[in-house]
Chains A and B, each alone.
Chain A
Amino acid sequence: MERNLMKGNEALAEAAIRAGCKCFFGYPITPQTEVAAYLAKYMPKNDGVFIQAESEIAAINMVLGAASAGVRAMTSSSSPGISLKSEGVSYIAGSDLPCVIINVQRGGPGLGGIQPSQSDYWQATKALGHGDYQLLVYAPCSVQEMVDKVTLAFDMADKFRMPAMILADGLLGQMMEPVTFPERKTEFEPKPWAANGHGNKRKHNIINSLYLVPEELENSIRNRYERYEIIKANHTEAESYLCDDADFVVTAYGASARVAKSAVNRARAMGIKAGLFRPITLWPFPVNEINEACKNAKALLDVEMSMGQMIEDVKLAINCSKPVHFFGRTGGVIPSPDEVLGELKKLSEANK
Protein backbone atom coordinates (compact mmCIF):
# COMPACT_ATOMS: atom_id res chain seq x y z
CA MET A 1 0.00 0.00 0.00
CA GLU A 2 1.30 3.43 -0.95
CA ARG A 3 2.21 5.61 2.00
CA ASN A 4 2.27 9.40 1.84
CA LEU A 5 3.81 11.86 4.27
CA MET A 6 1.13 14.49 4.74
CA LYS A 7 -0.16 17.22 7.02
CA GLY A 8 -3.30 16.30 8.92
CA ASN A 9 -5.36 19.01 7.25
CA GLU A 10 -4.30 17.96 3.75
CA ALA A 11 -4.79 14.29 4.49
CA LEU A 12 -8.35 14.81 5.67
CA ALA A 13 -9.06 16.89 2.57
CA GLU A 14 -7.76 14.11 0.32
CA ALA A 15 -9.80 11.60 2.32
CA ALA A 16 -12.92 13.67 1.66
CA ILE A 17 -12.31 13.55 -2.10
CA ARG A 18 -11.82 9.78 -1.90
CA ALA A 19 -15.02 9.45 0.13
CA GLY A 20 -16.89 10.95 -2.81
CA CYS A 21 -17.33 14.46 -1.45
CA LYS A 22 -18.78 16.37 -4.39
CA CYS A 23 -18.94 19.86 -2.86
CA PHE A 24 -16.77 21.79 -0.44
CA PHE A 25 -17.79 25.21 0.81
CA GLY A 26 -15.59 27.07 3.27
CA TYR A 27 -14.11 30.28 4.51
CA PRO A 28 -10.45 30.77 5.44
CA ILE A 29 -9.52 30.58 9.12
CA THR A 30 -6.35 29.54 10.93
CA PRO A 31 -5.47 26.72 11.69
CA GLN A 32 -7.56 24.84 9.11
CA THR A 33 -6.86 26.82 5.95
CA GLU A 34 -4.84 23.99 4.35
CA VAL A 35 -8.08 22.01 4.06
CA ALA A 36 -9.59 24.70 1.82
CA ALA A 37 -6.35 25.29 -0.07
CA TYR A 38 -5.98 21.59 -0.84
CA LEU A 39 -9.56 21.24 -1.98
CA ALA A 40 -9.37 24.42 -4.07
CA LYS A 41 -6.52 22.72 -5.91
CA TYR A 42 -7.91 19.21 -6.23
CA MET A 43 -11.73 19.41 -6.26
CA PRO A 44 -11.87 20.87 -9.79
CA LYS A 45 -9.57 18.06 -10.99
CA ASN A 46 -11.95 15.49 -9.52
CA ASP A 47 -15.26 16.80 -10.94
CA GLY A 48 -15.94 18.41 -7.61
CA VAL A 49 -17.09 21.84 -6.55
CA PHE A 50 -15.02 24.23 -4.44
CA ILE A 51 -16.42 27.60 -3.43
CA GLN A 52 -14.85 30.08 -1.06
CA ALA A 53 -18.04 31.44 0.47
CA GLU A 54 -18.61 35.01 1.65
CA SER A 55 -18.95 33.77 5.23
CA GLU A 56 -19.09 30.67 7.41
CA ILE A 57 -22.84 31.18 7.49
CA ALA A 58 -23.13 31.10 3.71
CA ALA A 59 -20.78 28.10 3.54
CA ILE A 60 -22.88 25.91 5.83
CA ASN A 61 -26.07 26.91 4.00
CA MET A 62 -24.43 25.98 0.70
CA VAL A 63 -23.73 22.62 2.34
CA LEU A 64 -27.42 22.44 3.23
CA GLY A 65 -28.30 23.04 -0.43
CA ALA A 66 -25.85 20.47 -1.78
CA ALA A 67 -26.91 17.89 0.83
CA SER A 68 -30.56 18.55 -0.10
CA ALA A 69 -29.66 17.90 -3.72
CA GLY A 70 -28.39 14.48 -2.64
CA VAL A 71 -24.63 14.86 -3.01
CA ARG A 72 -21.90 14.46 -0.40
CA ALA A 73 -20.89 17.85 0.94
CA MET A 74 -18.44 19.15 3.52
CA THR A 75 -17.37 22.34 5.21
CA SER A 76 -14.41 23.01 7.40
CA SER A 77 -13.51 25.66 9.91
CA SER A 78 -11.97 26.41 13.27
CA SER A 79 -13.68 27.31 16.51
CA PRO A 80 -14.97 30.88 15.92
CA GLY A 81 -16.13 29.86 12.45
CA ILE A 82 -17.94 26.81 13.81
CA SER A 83 -19.90 29.12 16.12
CA LEU A 84 -21.07 30.98 13.01
CA LYS A 85 -22.13 27.73 11.38
CA SER A 86 -24.20 26.61 14.32
CA GLU A 87 -27.50 27.95 12.95
CA GLY A 88 -27.02 26.09 9.68
CA VAL A 89 -26.01 22.88 11.44
CA SER A 90 -29.23 23.01 13.45
CA TYR A 91 -31.24 23.38 10.21
CA ILE A 92 -29.31 20.51 8.62
CA ALA A 93 -30.04 18.29 11.61
CA GLY A 94 -33.67 19.39 11.67
CA SER A 95 -34.00 18.62 7.96
CA ASP A 96 -32.42 15.15 8.40
CA LEU A 97 -29.60 15.94 5.99
CA PRO A 98 -26.18 14.26 5.93
CA CYS A 99 -22.96 16.27 5.75
CA VAL A 100 -19.49 16.43 7.26
CA ILE A 101 -18.19 19.37 9.28
CA ILE A 102 -14.53 19.70 10.24
CA ASN A 103 -13.53 21.65 13.34
CA VAL A 104 -9.78 22.12 13.67
CA GLN A 105 -10.07 23.60 17.15
CA ARG A 106 -8.18 26.64 18.37
CA GLY A 107 -8.33 28.49 21.67
CA GLY A 108 -11.42 30.48 22.65
CA PRO A 109 -13.68 32.10 23.71
CA GLY A 110 -14.14 34.98 21.29
CA LEU A 111 -11.31 35.39 18.86
CA GLY A 112 -9.23 33.43 21.38
CA GLY A 113 -5.96 32.38 19.82
CA ILE A 114 -4.64 30.34 16.94
CA GLN A 115 -2.87 27.60 18.88
CA PRO A 116 -4.38 24.11 19.35
CA SER A 117 -7.18 23.64 21.85
CA GLN A 118 -9.94 21.25 22.86
CA SER A 119 -12.32 23.78 24.30
CA ASP A 120 -15.15 23.08 21.82
CA TYR A 121 -16.06 19.67 23.27
CA TRP A 122 -19.25 20.96 24.81
CA GLN A 123 -20.17 22.81 21.62
CA ALA A 124 -19.65 19.69 19.50
CA THR A 125 -21.32 17.18 21.77
CA LYS A 126 -24.01 19.23 23.51
CA ALA A 127 -24.79 22.56 21.99
CA LEU A 128 -23.89 23.25 18.37
CA GLY A 129 -27.01 25.22 17.54
CA HIS A 130 -30.52 25.30 18.99
CA GLY A 131 -32.93 22.43 19.43
CA ASP A 132 -33.01 18.74 20.36
CA TYR A 133 -30.38 17.07 18.21
CA GLN A 134 -26.97 15.45 18.18
CA LEU A 135 -24.04 15.33 15.82
CA LEU A 136 -21.88 12.30 15.27
CA VAL A 137 -18.55 13.47 16.66
CA TYR A 138 -15.26 11.76 15.83
CA ALA A 139 -12.00 12.64 17.56
CA PRO A 140 -8.99 11.37 15.62
CA CYS A 141 -5.55 11.38 17.24
CA SER A 142 -3.27 10.78 14.27
CA VAL A 143 -3.09 11.81 10.64
CA GLN A 144 -4.09 8.28 9.62
CA GLU A 145 -7.09 8.45 11.90
CA MET A 146 -8.08 11.82 10.37
CA VAL A 147 -8.29 9.97 7.05
CA ASP A 148 -10.13 6.96 8.46
CA LYS A 149 -12.69 9.01 10.38
CA VAL A 150 -13.48 11.36 7.49
CA THR A 151 -14.24 8.28 5.40
CA LEU A 152 -16.42 6.81 8.14
CA ALA A 153 -18.10 10.15 8.88
CA PHE A 154 -19.42 10.43 5.31
CA ASP A 155 -20.79 6.88 5.41
CA MET A 156 -22.41 7.27 8.83
CA ALA A 157 -23.88 10.67 7.96
CA ASP A 158 -25.54 9.19 4.89
CA LYS A 159 -26.70 6.06 6.69
CA PHE A 160 -28.33 7.95 9.56
CA ARG A 161 -29.20 11.16 7.66
CA MET A 162 -27.47 13.44 10.12
CA PRO A 163 -24.46 15.75 10.26
CA ALA A 164 -21.13 14.32 11.39
CA MET A 165 -18.23 16.29 12.80
CA ILE A 166 -14.51 15.62 12.88
CA LEU A 167 -13.33 17.32 16.07
CA ALA A 168 -9.63 17.79 15.46
CA ASP A 169 -7.31 20.47 16.73
CA GLY A 170 -4.55 22.67 15.41
CA LEU A 171 -1.89 20.16 16.45
CA LEU A 172 -3.38 17.28 14.45
CA GLY A 173 -4.13 19.58 11.53
CA GLN A 174 -0.59 20.89 11.27
CA MET A 175 1.54 17.82 12.02
CA MET A 176 2.87 15.47 9.35
CA GLU A 177 2.69 11.68 9.49
CA PRO A 178 2.69 8.86 6.95
CA VAL A 179 -0.79 7.83 5.79
CA THR A 180 -2.46 5.41 3.43
CA PHE A 181 -5.70 6.25 1.68
CA PRO A 182 -8.64 4.06 0.79
CA GLU A 183 -9.71 3.61 -2.83
CA ARG A 184 -11.99 6.30 -4.15
CA LYS A 185 -15.64 5.58 -3.47
CA THR A 186 -17.78 5.60 -6.59
CA GLU A 187 -20.93 3.70 -5.57
CA PHE A 188 -23.42 5.39 -3.28
CA GLU A 189 -26.73 4.41 -1.77
CA PRO A 190 -29.63 6.14 -3.52
CA LYS A 191 -31.24 9.11 -1.75
CA PRO A 192 -34.90 8.96 -2.75
CA TRP A 193 -35.68 11.86 -0.39
CA ALA A 194 -33.41 14.34 -2.20
CA ALA A 195 -34.70 17.57 -3.75
CA ASN A 196 -33.06 17.02 -7.13
CA GLY A 197 -35.98 17.46 -9.51
CA HIS A 198 -38.81 14.93 -9.55
CA GLY A 199 -38.63 14.46 -13.32
CA ASN A 200 -42.43 14.07 -13.36
CA LYS A 201 -41.89 10.59 -11.94
CA ARG A 202 -42.73 11.06 -8.28
CA LYS A 203 -44.50 13.43 -5.90
CA HIS A 204 -42.41 16.47 -4.97
CA ASN A 205 -39.86 16.11 -2.21
CA ILE A 206 -39.71 18.76 0.51
CA ILE A 207 -36.59 19.35 2.61
CA ASN A 208 -37.79 21.13 5.70
CA SER A 209 -37.28 21.62 9.42
CA LEU A 210 -40.53 23.53 10.11
CA TYR A 211 -43.44 21.84 11.92
CA LEU A 212 -46.06 24.23 13.25
CA VAL A 213 -48.09 21.51 14.95
CA PRO A 214 -46.25 20.67 18.19
CA GLU A 215 -47.13 16.97 18.07
CA GLU A 216 -45.74 16.70 14.55
CA LEU A 217 -42.50 18.38 15.61
CA GLU A 218 -42.31 16.10 18.63
CA ASN A 219 -42.77 13.06 16.40
CA SER A 220 -40.03 14.17 14.03
CA ILE A 221 -37.67 14.62 16.98
CA ARG A 222 -38.62 11.26 18.49
CA ASN A 223 -37.93 9.57 15.16
CA ARG A 224 -34.51 11.18 15.13
CA TYR A 225 -33.83 10.04 18.69
CA GLU A 226 -34.75 6.47 17.79
CA ARG A 227 -31.93 6.59 15.24
CA TYR A 228 -29.64 8.02 17.93
CA GLU A 229 -30.37 4.98 20.11
CA ILE A 230 -29.28 2.66 17.29
CA ILE A 231 -26.04 4.61 16.95
CA LYS A 232 -25.42 4.58 20.71
CA ALA A 233 -25.93 0.82 20.82
CA ASN A 234 -23.78 -0.06 17.81
CA HIS A 235 -21.39 2.63 16.76
CA THR A 236 -19.28 3.81 19.69
CA GLU A 237 -15.51 3.59 19.32
CA ALA A 238 -12.68 3.85 21.80
CA GLU A 239 -9.10 2.74 22.37
CA SER A 240 -8.13 1.14 25.66
CA TYR A 241 -4.35 1.05 26.21
CA LEU A 242 -2.89 -0.94 29.11
CA CYS A 243 -6.16 -0.56 31.01
CA ASP A 244 -6.80 -4.18 32.09
CA ASP A 245 -4.63 -4.10 35.21
CA ALA A 246 -4.41 -0.33 35.52
CA ASP A 247 -4.74 1.30 38.92
CA PHE A 248 -5.01 4.68 37.25
CA VAL A 249 -6.75 5.25 33.94
CA VAL A 250 -6.06 8.46 32.07
CA THR A 251 -8.96 9.61 29.91
CA ALA A 252 -8.08 11.84 26.97
CA TYR A 253 -8.99 12.29 23.31
CA GLY A 254 -7.29 13.68 20.22
CA ALA A 255 -3.95 15.42 20.66
CA SER A 256 -4.00 15.30 24.45
CA ALA A 257 -4.33 11.49 24.23
CA ARG A 258 -0.97 11.39 22.43
CA VAL A 259 0.60 13.31 25.31
CA ALA A 260 -1.19 11.11 27.82
CA LYS A 261 0.06 7.93 26.14
CA SER A 262 3.67 9.06 26.53
CA ALA A 263 3.02 9.77 30.19
CA VAL A 264 1.38 6.35 30.70
CA ASN A 265 4.39 4.59 29.13
CA ARG A 266 6.78 6.48 31.37
CA ALA A 267 4.64 5.77 34.42
CA ARG A 268 4.66 2.05 33.60
CA ALA A 269 8.46 2.18 33.33
CA MET A 270 8.48 3.59 36.88
CA GLY A 271 6.23 0.82 38.12
CA ILE A 272 3.00 2.83 38.25
CA LYS A 273 0.17 0.82 36.74
CA ALA A 274 -1.31 3.42 34.45
CA GLY A 275 -3.53 3.03 31.38
CA LEU A 276 -5.12 5.24 28.77
CA PHE A 277 -8.76 5.31 27.75
CA ARG A 278 -9.28 7.29 24.55
CA PRO A 279 -12.81 7.90 23.24
CA ILE A 280 -12.83 8.04 19.45
CA THR A 281 -16.54 8.80 19.23
CA LEU A 282 -17.26 11.72 21.52
CA TRP A 283 -20.93 11.48 20.65
CA PRO A 284 -22.04 8.89 21.28
CA PHE A 285 -19.72 8.64 24.27
CA PRO A 286 -18.32 5.07 24.65
CA VAL A 287 -20.02 4.32 27.97
CA ASN A 288 -19.63 0.53 28.04
CA GLU A 289 -16.04 0.74 26.88
CA ILE A 290 -14.99 3.18 29.61
CA ASN A 291 -16.64 1.08 32.33
CA GLU A 292 -14.80 -1.98 31.06
CA ALA A 293 -11.52 -0.06 30.84
CA CYS A 294 -11.59 1.28 34.40
CA LYS A 295 -13.16 -1.69 36.15
CA ASN A 296 -10.00 -2.35 38.16
CA ALA A 297 -8.91 1.23 38.51
CA LYS A 298 -8.62 3.10 41.79
CA ALA A 299 -8.99 6.48 40.16
CA LEU A 300 -9.23 8.23 36.80
CA LEU A 301 -7.27 11.21 35.53
CA ASP A 302 -8.97 13.23 32.82
CA VAL A 303 -6.53 15.22 30.65
CA GLU A 304 -7.75 17.86 28.23
CA MET A 305 -6.59 20.96 26.42
CA SER A 306 -9.41 22.87 28.10
CA MET A 307 -10.59 23.74 31.60
CA GLY A 308 -12.40 20.37 31.73
CA GLN A 309 -15.30 19.60 29.45
CA MET A 310 -15.21 15.88 28.59
CA ILE A 311 -14.70 15.17 32.28
CA GLU A 312 -18.44 15.60 32.81
CA ASP A 313 -19.18 12.79 30.36
CA VAL A 314 -16.51 10.63 32.01
CA LYS A 315 -18.15 11.08 35.42
CA LEU A 316 -21.61 10.44 34.01
CA ALA A 317 -20.49 7.36 32.11
CA ILE A 318 -19.10 5.71 35.25
CA ASN A 319 -21.90 7.08 37.45
CA CYS A 320 -19.25 8.83 39.58
CA SER A 321 -18.33 5.38 40.90
CA LYS A 322 -14.64 6.33 41.18
CA PRO A 323 -12.78 9.54 41.79
CA VAL A 324 -12.08 11.44 38.56
CA HIS A 325 -9.19 13.89 38.78
CA PHE A 326 -8.44 16.54 36.21
CA PHE A 327 -5.42 18.02 34.58
CA GLY A 328 -5.79 20.52 31.77
CA ARG A 329 -3.96 23.28 29.95
CA THR A 330 -5.93 25.72 27.91
CA GLY A 331 -5.72 28.79 25.70
CA GLY A 332 -3.47 27.02 23.21
CA VAL A 333 -1.02 25.61 25.76
CA ILE A 334 -0.29 21.92 25.16
CA PRO A 335 0.20 19.79 28.28
CA SER A 336 3.57 18.05 28.44
CA PRO A 337 4.06 14.35 29.19
CA ASP A 338 6.07 15.47 32.25
CA GLU A 339 3.09 17.36 33.62
CA VAL A 340 0.74 14.41 33.12
CA LEU A 341 3.32 12.04 34.61
CA GLY A 342 3.55 14.35 37.61
CA GLU A 343 -0.20 14.04 38.13
CA LEU A 344 0.03 10.24 37.88
CA LYS A 345 2.82 10.19 40.47
CA LYS A 346 0.69 12.26 42.81
CA LEU A 347 -2.21 9.84 42.37
CA SER A 348 0.06 6.88 42.95
CA GLU A 349 1.43 8.42 46.18
CA ALA A 350 -2.04 9.28 47.43
CA ASN A 351 -3.30 5.75 46.83
CA LYS A 352 -0.43 3.84 48.45
Chain B
Amino acid sequence: MAVIFDRPKSLADVPTHYCPGCTHGIIHRLIAEVIDEMGIEGDTIGICPVGCAVMAYDYFNCDMIEAAHGRAPATATGVKRSLPDKFVFTYQGDGDCAAIGTAETVHAATRGENIVVIFVNNAIYGMTGGQMAPTSLPGQVTQTTPYGRDVSVAGNPIKMVEMLSVLDGVALAQRVAVNTVPHIREAKKAIRKAFENQKAKRGFSIIEVLSSCPTNWGVSPTEALEKIDEVMIPFYPLGAYKDVTAEGAN
Protein backbone atom coordinates (compact mmCIF):
# COMPACT_ATOMS: atom_id res chain seq x y z
CA MET B 1 0.00 0.00 0.00
CA ALA B 2 1.33 3.46 -0.90
CA VAL B 3 2.33 5.67 2.01
CA ILE B 4 0.73 9.08 1.54
CA PHE B 5 1.55 10.63 4.90
CA ASP B 6 4.72 10.07 6.88
CA ARG B 7 7.05 11.78 9.32
CA PRO B 8 9.54 14.09 7.58
CA LYS B 9 13.00 12.55 7.64
CA SER B 10 14.56 15.59 9.33
CA LEU B 11 12.03 15.46 12.19
CA ALA B 12 13.26 13.09 14.90
CA ASP B 13 11.04 10.16 15.82
CA VAL B 14 10.82 11.06 19.51
CA PRO B 15 8.00 12.21 21.79
CA THR B 16 8.01 15.98 22.35
CA HIS B 17 7.37 17.75 25.65
CA TYR B 18 4.84 20.17 24.13
CA CYS B 19 1.39 20.46 25.76
CA PRO B 20 -1.63 18.85 24.10
CA GLY B 21 -3.09 21.19 21.49
CA CYS B 22 0.05 23.31 21.17
CA THR B 23 0.91 24.26 17.60
CA HIS B 24 4.72 24.02 17.98
CA GLY B 25 4.42 20.51 16.56
CA ILE B 26 2.84 21.79 13.35
CA ILE B 27 5.51 24.47 12.94
CA HIS B 28 8.31 21.94 13.58
CA ARG B 29 6.77 19.70 10.94
CA LEU B 30 6.55 22.49 8.35
CA ILE B 31 10.22 23.37 8.81
CA ALA B 32 11.19 19.70 8.56
CA GLU B 33 9.12 19.26 5.40
CA VAL B 34 10.86 22.23 3.79
CA ILE B 35 14.30 20.90 4.81
CA ASP B 36 13.41 17.51 3.33
CA GLU B 37 11.99 18.92 0.11
CA MET B 38 15.10 21.04 -0.43
CA GLY B 39 17.34 18.10 0.52
CA ILE B 40 19.39 20.23 2.94
CA GLU B 41 19.27 18.36 6.26
CA GLY B 42 22.99 17.60 6.11
CA ASP B 43 23.78 21.24 5.40
CA THR B 44 21.50 22.83 7.98
CA ILE B 45 22.26 24.11 11.48
CA GLY B 46 19.31 25.07 13.67
CA ILE B 47 19.47 27.39 16.69
CA CYS B 48 17.04 26.87 19.57
CA PRO B 49 15.72 29.57 21.87
CA VAL B 50 15.10 29.67 25.59
CA GLY B 51 11.36 29.19 26.00
CA CYS B 52 8.95 26.38 25.20
CA ALA B 53 11.05 25.27 22.22
CA VAL B 54 14.23 25.08 24.30
CA MET B 55 14.56 21.36 23.63
CA ALA B 56 13.87 21.54 19.89
CA TYR B 57 17.48 20.40 19.45
CA ASP B 58 16.22 16.91 20.22
CA TYR B 59 13.41 17.15 17.67
CA PHE B 60 15.28 18.07 14.48
CA ASN B 61 17.78 15.69 12.92
CA CYS B 62 20.06 18.42 11.55
CA ASP B 63 22.91 19.79 13.68
CA MET B 64 21.53 21.97 16.46
CA ILE B 65 22.77 24.64 18.88
CA GLU B 66 21.09 25.83 22.06
CA ALA B 67 21.49 29.60 22.37
CA ALA B 68 21.20 31.86 25.39
CA HIS B 69 17.84 33.61 25.86
CA GLY B 70 17.28 36.03 23.00
CA ARG B 71 20.72 35.56 21.48
CA ALA B 72 19.86 33.10 18.73
CA PRO B 73 20.23 35.66 15.90
CA ALA B 74 23.72 36.56 17.18
CA THR B 75 24.65 32.89 17.50
CA ALA B 76 23.23 32.26 14.02
CA THR B 77 25.36 35.14 12.73
CA GLY B 78 28.47 33.46 14.14
CA VAL B 79 27.58 30.16 12.49
CA LYS B 80 26.57 31.62 9.14
CA ARG B 81 29.65 33.86 8.85
CA SER B 82 31.82 30.84 9.63
CA LEU B 83 29.96 28.55 7.22
CA PRO B 84 28.41 30.81 4.56
CA ASP B 85 27.34 27.89 2.36
CA LYS B 86 25.32 26.13 5.06
CA PHE B 87 21.69 26.83 5.92
CA VAL B 88 21.08 28.41 9.31
CA PHE B 89 17.74 28.97 10.98
CA THR B 90 16.65 30.14 14.42
CA TYR B 91 13.45 29.04 16.13
CA GLN B 92 12.33 31.63 18.69
CA GLY B 93 9.36 32.51 20.82
CA ASP B 94 7.95 35.97 21.46
CA GLY B 95 9.92 36.64 24.65
CA ASP B 96 13.13 35.43 23.03
CA CYS B 97 12.77 37.24 19.71
CA ALA B 98 10.83 40.37 20.69
CA ALA B 99 11.74 41.15 24.33
CA ILE B 100 15.09 40.02 25.71
CA GLY B 101 16.55 39.50 22.23
CA THR B 102 15.08 42.47 20.39
CA ALA B 103 18.48 44.06 19.75
CA GLU B 104 19.90 40.82 18.34
CA THR B 105 16.86 40.36 16.09
CA VAL B 106 16.86 43.93 14.79
CA HIS B 107 20.59 44.06 14.13
CA ALA B 108 20.80 40.64 12.46
CA ALA B 109 17.94 41.90 10.25
CA THR B 110 19.49 45.24 9.41
CA ARG B 111 22.87 43.64 8.70
CA GLY B 112 21.00 41.46 6.23
CA GLU B 113 22.32 38.28 7.81
CA ASN B 114 21.49 35.54 5.35
CA ILE B 115 19.53 33.44 7.85
CA VAL B 116 15.94 32.36 8.51
CA VAL B 117 14.18 33.34 11.73
CA ILE B 118 11.06 31.40 12.65
CA PHE B 119 9.32 33.59 15.21
CA VAL B 120 6.53 31.80 17.07
CA ASN B 121 4.11 34.33 18.54
CA ASN B 122 1.56 32.89 20.97
CA ALA B 123 1.19 36.12 22.94
CA ILE B 124 2.27 34.56 26.22
CA TYR B 125 5.27 33.16 28.09
CA GLY B 126 4.44 29.47 28.03
CA MET B 127 7.42 27.75 29.62
CA THR B 128 7.44 29.87 32.76
CA GLY B 129 3.71 29.41 33.25
CA GLY B 130 1.81 32.17 31.48
CA GLN B 131 3.27 35.61 32.04
CA MET B 132 2.82 38.63 29.78
CA ALA B 133 4.73 38.47 26.50
CA PRO B 134 5.84 41.53 24.52
CA THR B 135 3.09 40.44 22.11
CA SER B 136 0.31 39.86 24.68
CA LEU B 137 -2.82 41.61 23.47
CA PRO B 138 -4.30 44.72 25.13
CA GLY B 139 -6.60 43.51 27.88
CA GLN B 140 -5.13 39.99 27.87
CA VAL B 141 -5.12 38.35 31.29
CA THR B 142 -1.82 36.70 32.18
CA GLN B 143 -0.08 35.83 35.44
CA THR B 144 1.69 39.20 35.42
CA THR B 145 -1.26 41.17 34.01
CA PRO B 146 -3.94 39.68 36.28
CA TYR B 147 -6.34 42.56 35.55
CA GLY B 148 -5.71 42.40 31.84
CA ARG B 149 -2.85 44.09 29.96
CA ASP B 150 -3.32 47.79 30.62
CA VAL B 151 -1.26 49.44 27.89
CA SER B 152 -0.95 52.62 29.95
CA VAL B 153 1.00 50.59 32.50
CA ALA B 154 2.47 47.59 30.68
CA GLY B 155 2.98 49.27 27.32
CA ASN B 156 1.78 48.23 23.90
CA PRO B 157 2.31 44.92 22.12
CA ILE B 158 5.19 44.89 19.63
CA LYS B 159 4.50 44.21 15.96
CA MET B 160 7.75 42.62 14.84
CA VAL B 161 7.33 41.95 11.14
CA GLU B 162 5.84 45.39 10.51
CA MET B 163 8.76 46.96 12.34
CA LEU B 164 11.42 44.87 10.60
CA SER B 165 9.89 45.40 7.17
CA VAL B 166 11.38 48.91 6.96
CA LEU B 167 14.96 47.62 7.24
CA ASP B 168 17.05 47.35 4.10
CA GLY B 169 18.67 44.06 5.11
CA VAL B 170 15.35 42.24 5.23
CA ALA B 171 14.38 40.04 2.27
CA LEU B 172 11.15 38.67 3.68
CA ALA B 173 9.05 39.69 6.67
CA GLN B 174 5.81 37.77 6.69
CA ARG B 175 3.17 36.84 9.26
CA VAL B 176 1.33 33.54 8.96
CA ALA B 177 -0.84 31.38 11.23
CA VAL B 178 -1.25 27.65 11.78
CA ASN B 179 -4.82 27.46 13.12
CA THR B 180 -6.57 26.27 9.94
CA VAL B 181 -5.61 24.09 7.01
CA PRO B 182 -5.47 27.01 4.53
CA HIS B 183 -3.33 28.98 6.98
CA ILE B 184 -1.01 26.02 7.47
CA ARG B 185 -0.57 25.72 3.70
CA GLU B 186 0.29 29.44 3.50
CA ALA B 187 2.70 29.09 6.40
CA LYS B 188 4.51 26.24 4.65
CA LYS B 189 4.88 28.33 1.48
CA ALA B 190 6.30 31.24 3.49
CA ILE B 191 8.83 29.04 5.30
CA ARG B 192 9.89 27.52 1.99
CA LYS B 193 10.35 31.00 0.54
CA ALA B 194 12.47 32.01 3.53
CA PHE B 195 14.82 29.05 3.02
CA GLU B 196 14.91 29.70 -0.75
CA ASN B 197 15.91 33.29 0.04
CA GLN B 198 18.82 31.98 2.06
CA LYS B 199 19.83 29.69 -0.79
CA ALA B 200 19.73 32.66 -3.19
CA LYS B 201 21.63 34.81 -0.62
CA ARG B 202 18.87 37.42 -0.52
CA GLY B 203 19.34 38.32 3.15
CA PHE B 204 17.33 38.11 6.33
CA SER B 205 13.95 36.33 6.31
CA ILE B 206 11.62 36.29 9.28
CA ILE B 207 8.37 34.33 9.40
CA GLU B 208 6.16 35.26 12.34
CA VAL B 209 3.83 32.36 13.08
CA LEU B 210 0.70 33.06 15.13
CA SER B 211 0.48 30.10 17.44
CA SER B 212 -1.79 28.95 20.25
CA CYS B 213 -1.20 28.16 23.90
CA PRO B 214 -4.31 26.39 25.21
CA THR B 215 -2.62 25.62 28.54
CA ASN B 216 -1.82 29.20 29.48
CA TRP B 217 -4.70 30.83 27.64
CA GLY B 218 -6.95 28.59 29.75
CA VAL B 219 -9.08 27.32 26.88
CA SER B 220 -9.48 24.05 24.99
CA PRO B 221 -7.22 23.36 21.99
CA THR B 222 -10.14 23.93 19.60
CA GLU B 223 -11.14 27.17 21.27
CA ALA B 224 -7.51 28.28 21.17
CA LEU B 225 -7.38 27.80 17.40
CA GLU B 226 -10.61 29.82 17.08
CA LYS B 227 -9.15 32.58 19.23
CA ILE B 228 -6.36 33.04 16.72
CA ASP B 229 -8.98 33.99 14.13
CA GLU B 230 -11.06 36.00 16.58
CA VAL B 231 -8.49 38.09 18.45
CA MET B 232 -4.96 37.43 17.21
CA ILE B 233 -5.32 37.98 13.46
CA PRO B 234 -7.38 41.21 13.81
CA PHE B 235 -4.51 42.66 15.90
CA TYR B 236 -1.70 40.97 13.97
CA PRO B 237 -2.88 40.89 10.33
CA LEU B 238 -1.40 38.11 8.20
CA GLY B 239 0.63 38.83 5.09
CA ALA B 240 4.05 39.66 3.68
CA TYR B 241 5.09 43.09 4.93
CA LYS B 242 8.23 42.92 2.86
CA ASP B 243 9.15 40.47 0.13
CA VAL B 244 12.03 41.20 -2.24
CA THR B 245 11.30 38.26 -4.55
CA ALA B 246 9.76 39.01 -7.91
CA GLU B 247 6.30 37.78 -7.05
CA GLY B 248 6.21 39.72 -3.82
CA ALA B 249 7.98 42.91 -4.93
CA ASN B 250 5.96 46.02 -4.28
Contact = CB atoms under 8 A, between A and B. Distances in A.
A291 interface: no
A4 interface: no
A197 B87 CA distance: 9
B57 A196 contact: no
A58 B79 contact: no
Contact of B43 (A57, A69, A197): A197
Interface of B: 41-45, 47, 54-55, 57-58, 60-68, 71, 74-83, 86, 103-104, 106-107, 111
A65 B76 contact: yes
A91 B78 CA distance: 15
Contacts of B74: 53, 57-59, 61-62, 64-65
A87 B76 contact: no
Given A95-B66, A206-B57, A207-B65, A66 B45 contact: no
15 contacts: A49-B82, A57-B71, A62-B74, A62-B78, A64-B71, A64-B75, A65-B79, A70-B82, A195-B64, A196-B82, A199-B42, A199-B43, A206-B65, A207-B66, A208-B64
Interface of A: 22-23, 25, 49, 51, 53-55, 57-59, 61-71, 73, 87-88, 91, 95, 195-201, 204-210
A68 B80 CA distance: 11
B78 A196 contact: no
A65 B103 contact: no
Contacts of B103: 54-55, 57-58
Contacts of B58: 206
A326 to B, nearest CB: 38
Given A49-B82, A68-B78, A204 B61 contact: yes
Contact of A88 (B44, B71, B81, B82): B71
A203 to B, nearest CB: 8
Which of A57, A61, A199, A209 has its CB near the most chain B CB atoms (within 10 A)? A61
Contacts of B111: 51
Given A65-B75, A68-B75, A198 B42 contact: yes
A76 to B, nearest CB: 15
Contact of A204 (B63, B67, B80): B63
A23 B60 contact: no
Given A58-B103, A199-B43, A208 B78 contact: no
Given A54-B104, A197-B43, A197-B44, 11 more contacts: A23-B82, A51-B77, A65-B65, A65-B76, A68-B45, A73-B78, A195-B79, A196-B63, A196-B83, A204-B62, A204-B63
Given A54-B107, A200-B42, A206-B66, A68 B79 contact: yes
Given A71-B82, A91-B68, A196-B86, A62 B77 contact: yes
